[in-house]
Amino acid sequence: MPLLDAVLSLSEAPARDEALQRILRELARVTAADALSVLTAADDGAVTVAAQIGLSPAARGLCFRPAEHPRLRRATLAAGPIRFLDPSEPDPYSGWLLGNAGAIHPIHACMAVPLRVQDRLAGLLTLDACDPHGLRDLRDEDARVFAGLCAAALRLDAGPSPAPETRRLLAPAPGAPAVPGRSAGMQRIEREIAVLAPLSVPVLVTGETGVGKELVARALHERSPRASRPLVVVNCAAIPAQLVESELFGHKKGAFTGATAARAGRFEAARGGTVFLDEVGELPLAAQAQLLRVLQEGEIQPVGDDRAHRVEARVVAATNRDLRREVEEGRFRADLFHRLWVYPICVPPLRERREDIPALCERFAAGLAAELGARRVDFTDAALHALAQRAWPGNVRELKHAVERAVLRRMVAGEGAAGRSLVLRLEDLDPGADARSSAPQAEAIGPPQPLPDPSPPRRVETLAETLERARREAFARAFQAASGNAAVAGRLLGLSRSFAYKEAVRLGLLPGPAPRRR
């Protein structure tokens, strides 16, 4: 029963966001909603997306001011479930639904339920359906029950105490290294984090793809006085160039075609926390000018607004590019480079710190095994030796995926479940992994295509096409890692088994069910 499963999800989840995500999955099973979300309310009235299903991955962390969105304003003032029946009324998620990304006025049914904790507004539960009648079968009483579970989850915060065998993975002891590794390079980074974390100066993290730059950024935030504030992660390379300024700095209603409501940007969502700009070298020059203004003046100017807004957030940026060369070739502003280059942290590639590989392998394997229900994971000496000898062009990310694939193969084969231990052997590992590229694609996707020549004018990919392509690639990678098992792939993607299977069929990654005989 979905309701019982939702209650169990609340009791078993390790922390707030995971509990919310599990509750939304169970609610998705009993509704025809195309998107569900939980937004948390701040003291200043702003609401931020904390968990979601069916929206673009970039929607997580979106911050809205209810006063600027009619539906959100009515939802925050409502005493119970409220349904929005006028499809022409602007919706804050217009253009964010995966099934209708890019649509200006998608026709869909909307519903919201306020989440209250001790008579205080703690957030909102929202449901959106592309079918105007998609939420007709969801009773208000059932919506109230799921909203109550979400409200209870909002009180978890720290979550229950983890099991002894996973406590070290989920909550490192005080004084534990901020980044894993015993090599000289990682010890140097540990010292740099200790010095830089308490400060407000911008930090630039450099290194090859997959070395763990985001982990360094998280450590800088978590060890800073801003740790209780949001850490807003932005992948600059994943945002279409025409949307970058709106995404980072927000926009006013009517600022451009499709801007049916005002929206706050990622810097306002940080609210005194940290903004991590991954792949900062991908920012277009216009957005670089705005970022420079943030660093120099502490101000942003939303798209279509002639007024500046004060923001207070620390900037941590990361890149795998040589920004000095980018400056020389005119693709990166020299003044912004010098603002970011206060104290760069260079993360060494994995091939230069092979002594860290055994500890990293055990960390990755234990984390996934705990999630899937195995008691613990060990490695034979031969397996660890083989892993330590590989080139790992994809660095820590490639190592992590290789270890996870090995664990999943054994789990799919029925080993390591029900609290039993698991030993990974040499034959469980991918043969010849060091000969492949750092980001292997699933066979269903086909070989990577060469970049087009930028000189002639070409058709620009729409947002809907970009999101659909990214969605297909994510599903392909998950099903490849899970050896085609929909339950395991769904768990990796944070989705239910049935939804993962249906999407894989729709995307052409799996064959559909055989037709029934008459």
Give the residue numbers spanning the domain of 396: 351-435
Tokens of 439: 């980001």
In this structure, the answer to whether residues 82 and 192 fall within a common structural domain is: no
The crossing angle, in degrees rounded to 10, of helices 140-153 and 2-12 is 10
**Helices and strands in the chain, H and E counts:** 18, 15
> pLDDT for 492-514, tens place per residue?
787 777 788 888 888 888 876 65
Phi first, then psi, for residue 41 (nearest 5°) are -100, 135
Those residues with Cβ within 8 angstroms of residue 375's Cβ, 6 or more apart along the chain or in another chain:
165, 369, 416, 419, 420, 421, 422
On whether residue 74 sits in a domain, the answer given is yes
In a domain, 497, yes or no: no
Do 255 and 360 belong together in one domain? no
pLDDT over 70 for what percent of the chain? 80
Q: Is 487 a domain residue? A: no
What is the pLDDT confidence band of residue 315, given thresholds at 50, 70 and 90?
A: very high
Q: Is residue 470 part of a domain?
A: no
Domain check: are 192 and 312 in the same one? Answer: yes
Residues 61 and 138 in one domain: yes
Mean pLDDT, rounded, for 241-263:
84
The confidence score (pLDDT) of residue 45 equals 83
Return the CATH number at 146: 3.30.450.40
| Residue 300 and residue 328 in one domain | yes
**Bridge partners (DSSP) listed for residue 276:** 233, 316
422, β-bridge pairs: 377
Residue 450 placed within a domain? no
Q: Name residues whose C-beta falls within 8 Å of residue 389's C-beta, 6 or more positions apart in sequence.
A: none
φ/ψ bin of 254: left (φ > 0), alpha (ψ from -120 to 50), beta (otherwise): left
Residue 94: pLDDT above 90?
A: no
Bridging pattern class, strands 299-300 and 203-206: unpaired
- Inform me whether the pLDDT recorded for 160 exceeds 60: no
Judgement on whether residues 138 and 43 belong to the same structural domain of the protein: yes
Q: What is the DSSP string of 35-86?
A: EEEEEEEPTTS-EEEEEEESB-GGGTT-EE-GGG-HHHHHHHH-SS-EEE--
Task: Report the range out of 60-69, 92-101, 407-416 with the highest average pLDDT.
Answer: 60-69
The reply to whether 9 and 144 lie within a common domain is yes
Calculated CA dihedral for residues 290, 292, 295, 301, nearest 10 degrees: -20
Asked if 246 and 303 count as a contact pair (C-beta separation under 8 A), the reply is yes
Amino acid, single-letter form, for residue 129: A
- Whole-angstrom Cα distance, residue 382 to residue 143? 54
Yes or no: say if 377 and 369 are a contact pair by the CB < 8 Å rule: yes
Phi, psi of 235 (to 5 degrees): -90, 100
Q: How far apart are CA 290 and CA 304, in angstroms?
A: 14
Domain end (from 348, 378, 408): 348
| Residue 204 pLDDT greater than 80, yes or no | yes
Asked whether residue 337 falls in the same domain as residue 358, the answer is: no
Query: Which contacts of 158-167 are long-range, i.e. CB under 8 A and separated by 24 or more positions?
Result: 158/15, 159/13, 159/14, 159/15, 159/16, 159/18, 159/19, 160/14, 162/14, 163/370, 165/366, 165/370, 165/375, 165/376, 166/366, 166/367, 166/370
CA neighbor of 83 nearest in space, from 17, 31, 118: 31
Sign of CA dihedral 328, 329, 333, 337: negative
* Whether residue 338 is found in the same domain as residue 206: yes
**pLDDT for 143 beyond 60:** yes
Name the pLDDT band for 28 (thresholds 50, 70, 90): confident
Q: Same structural domain for residues 186 and 59?
A: no
The count of structural domains within the chain is: 3
Q: How many CA atoms lie within 13 A of 100 on its CB side?
A: 18
Average pLDDT on 10-15 reads 53
* CATH number of the domain within which 244 lies: 3.40.50.300
The string of DSSP letters for 93-118 reads TTTTBGGGTT-SS---EEEEEEEEET
Neighbours of 56 (CB within 10 A): 21
Assess whether pLDDT exceeds 80 at residue 443: no
d(CA 315, CA 342): 12
Helix (H) or strand (E) holding 411: helix 395-412
CA dihedral 285, 291, 297, 302 (to 10 degrees): 90
Q: What is the pLDDT of residues 388-440, one digit of tens each?
A: 999 899 999 999 888 888 888 877 776 655 556 778 888 888 765 443 433 43
pLDDT of residue 450: 45
Q: List C-alpha distances in Å: 243 to 175, 251, 260.
A: 41, 10, 15
Contact 154, 115 (CB under 8 A): yes
Burial grade of 228 (CB within 10 A; 0-12, 13-18, 19 or more): exposed
Q: Is 348's pLDDT higher than 90?
A: yes
Give the C-alpha separation, 30 to 13, whole Å.
Answer: 20
Per-residue pLDDT for 170 more than 50? no
Which of 153, 173, 193 is the last residue before a domain boundary?
Answer: 153
Token code pair at residue 193: 């984090």
Q: Which of 24-28, 207-211, 457-461, 486-490 has the weakest average pLDDT?
A: 457-461
Q: Return the axis-axis angle of helices 463-481 and 486-493, rounded to nearest 10°.
A: 130
Domain contains 83: yes
What SS3 state is found at 175? coil
Average per-residue pLDDT for the chain: 80
Handedness of CA 55, 58, 60, 66 (dihedral sign): negative
CATH of the domain at 428: 1.10.8.60
Verify that 332 and 390 share a domain, yes or no: no
Residue 337 is predicted with a pLDDT of: 96
166 within domain boundaries: no
Q: Is residue 514 part of a domain?
A: no
Q: Which of 415, 435, 455 finishes a domain?
A: 435
State percent of the chain over pLDDT 90: 33
Asked whether residue 362 falls in the same domain as residue 343, the answer is: no
pLDDT at 433: 44
SS3 sequence of 472-497: HHHHHHHHHHCCCCHHHHHHHHCCCH
